[in-house]
Amino acid sequence: MTWQKISDTHDLISYEKNKEDMNIRIEARLNKDRTWSIYKTYFEGDNNNFIDEHKASNISDARKIVERLLEEKDLNLKEINEIKTKKSKALDINLKRAFKEDNTEKWNIYFNSSNVGFLNIRYGEKVEIDLVADESFRFLEKQLLEELNTVLGLTKISREILFNNYYFAHHSHKKLKSKKPRKLVLGNIEIGMGFRE
């Protein structure tokens, strides 16, 4: 199934895709304040099943978001139902500090005892926060940011706070084993680290 352009005017950009189990529409609309609202809406029959919402400050940024939405993988009904279930419940996030230096902190983010990402916080004239989290939290971004603001006490900081949000789809851990014994070299003395029984 390919995307079909419906409209591309000064105040509306719209695409549609018809799939067997649902229809999908991407719309970018110009607001009264000259900003743009971009929606990716999933329809099952006549019912609006799910909306992924974005904002842009100008038409150039709106077009970039529309292009990204056209390229990204569409959600299926199972994924939509999982997101809706998560959105209906309170987001119970736990944070554990990984390290703290003068003006930098790193926090690991846990959801249901699973590590789902991390935060890097840099304190300066403004507070810059890099949020790196599992892709499934992209649709819970508003709730996630509200929870992080509350847990970290960022609402009490008078400086400007800038979030840079990054999401990943997959991650893995792998341990490599070396087949050769390792050797430790101290000065000109070589010490073998392989042990034989």
DSSP 8-state class, residue 156: G
List, for residues 140-181, the tens digit of each pLDDT value: 888 888 888 888 888 787 788 888 888 887 655 556 666 666
DSSP 8-state class, residue 188: T
pLDDT at 184: 57
Which one, of 136, 129, 140, lies nearest residue 106 by Cα? Answer: 129
Residue 95 has which token pair?
């944070």
Indicate yes or no: pTM above 0.85.
no
pLDDT at 10: 92
Region 33-54 average pLDDT? 86
DSSP of 95-127: EEEEEE-SSEEEEEEEETTEEEEEEEEEESSSE
Does the pLDDT value for residue 187 go beyond 80?
A: no
List, for residues 106-150, the tens digit of each pLDDT value: 999 988 778 888 999 998 888 899 999 888 788 888 888 888 888
Q: Give the pLDDT band of residue 191 (cuts 50, 70, 90).
A: very low
